[in-house]
Amino acid sequence: MTASTIMHTDLKLEGLQSKYTGKVREVYRLDNDLLILVATDRLSAFDVVLPKGIPFKGQILNQIATKMLEATEDIVPNWLIASPDPNVSIGKSCTPFKIEMVIRGYLTGHAARTYKKGLRTLCGVSLPEGMKENDKFETPIITPATKAEEGHDEDISREDIVAKGIVSEADYKVLEKYTRQLFDRGTEIAKKQGLILVDTKYEFGKTKSGEIVLIDEIHTPDSSRYFYQEGYEERQQKGRSQKQLSKEFVRQWLISEGFQGLDGQSLPEMKEDRIQSISDRYIELYENITGETFVKAFSDAISERIQTNIEEYLKKAYS
């Protein structure tokens, strides 16, 4: 069976207040302080949404995030209430902090590209001399980014976040503590599956009562980077690329095709075999990080399935 993809939704929901469309997710806010988050099959890289969807990507992201939120709720409360559909999460409405808490255990990706340019400070954090790409930091570093409504997120230091009033100093200390605790837990979970959690990002918000909660996705291939543990040291010693499970392989493909989201650059053509290989890699990560076989939710009418499952859940839970 050929897999369908979902690129957009137009849900008809009772009590709908607003709809927000992000790069990958669509968020519906209801008048009873509920958020409905739909993970589409859209793929973004370098803050650009690619023109074709990746089969099962939304399901994979949603199901990994759900499992990881449940596996960390003893560390920090989160927004999630239920997942009535493979592509859907329903949770508490809250006010998001306008930053992403990025934490890096290794010199990889954006940090490595910055380092190669000769810069030794990232988001106000000093980077040691003599590191090679993919080397492990002695202690994981936190390198926050502003949360852009459109376009590129931007690096920002802890000092600037507090000075500009984006987050209060007291709240930032809580976010920093939660970020390190979550990264430690994510590292433990990954290790059990023979993986290394290289870097990731966390987003937080505040409920109406003022409680800080974890929101959005965590430890997914869109928000995180993983290496395979086996062979990591040998590959580093020999200067070889690390075998990894993350969206970085998409970025590297785009870079090889001359695209990094810069003005004047054109997206390369996404052929069917490329789309299939990306889908296969997402499934590989799901199975490796969860230790479970991925069950594909085949559907010729994904939007209709999502609409029905949400309606049935809301009727049962809130009528």
Q: Write out pLDDT tens, residues 210-265.
A: 999 999 899 988 889 999 999 999 999 999 999 887 777 888 899 999 999 899 99
Structure-token match 């979550």, residue found = 182
pLDDT of residue 148: 65
DSSP one-letter string for 199-239: EEEEEEEE-TT--EEEES--SSTTTEEEEESTTHHHHHHTT
Residue 7 pLDDT exceeds 80: yes
Which tokens is 127 given? 């980077």
Q: Write out pLDDT tens, residues 288-316.
A: 999 999 999 988 899 999 999 999 999 99
pLDDT of residue 3: 75
Which residue type is seen at 71? A
DSSP one-letter string for 172-199: HHHHHHHHHHHHHHHHHHHHHTTEEEEE
Other Cβ atoms less than 10 A from the Cβ of 255: the count is: 13
Residue 151 pLDDT level (bands cut at 50, 70, 90): low
pLDDT of residue 244: 81
Q: What is the mean pLDDT of residues 266-292?
A: 91
Q: Write out pLDDT tens, residues 163-217.
A: 999 999 999 999 999 999 999 999 999 999 999 999 999 999 999 899 999 998 9
pLDDT of residue 1: 45
pLDDT of residue 284: 87
Q: Is 38 exposed, middle or buried (0-12, 13-18, 19+ CB in 10 A)?
A: buried
Taking the whole predicted model, whether its pTM rises above 0.75 is answered as yes
Q: Write out pLDDT tens, residues 23-63.
A: 899 999 999 899 999 999 999 988 899 999 999 999 999 99
Maximal CA-CA distance, the chain = 62
CA distances from 222 to 17, 102, 225 (A): 28, 13, 8
| Residues, the chain | 319
Q: Is the dihedral of CA 84, 86, 87, 91 positive or negative?
A: positive
- How far apart CA 306 and CA 285 sit, in angstroms, is 24
pLDDT of residue 147: 80
CATH 3.40.50.12500 fits 96-210+222-246, yes or no: no
pLDDT of residue 152: 60
* Range in 57-71, 108-122, 170-184, 277-291 with the lowest mean pLDDT: 277-291
Q: What is the mean pLDDT of residues 112-134?
A: 96
Residue 150 pLDDT exceeds 60: no
Residue 103 pLDDT exceeds 50: yes
pLDDT of residue 46: 87
User: CATH assignment of 16-94+268-318?
Assistant: 3.30.200.20
- How far apart CA 97 and CA 25 sit, in angstroms, is 18
Domain boundaries, the chain: 16-94+268-318, 96-210+222-246
pLDDT of residue 69: 97
Which tokens is 82 given? 């239920």
Report angle CA 307, 313, 318 to the nearest 5 degrees: 125
pLDDT, the chain, mean: 93
Give me the helix-helix angle, 272-290 and 57-71, nearest 10°: 20
| Fold match, 16-94+268-318 / 96-210+222-246 | no
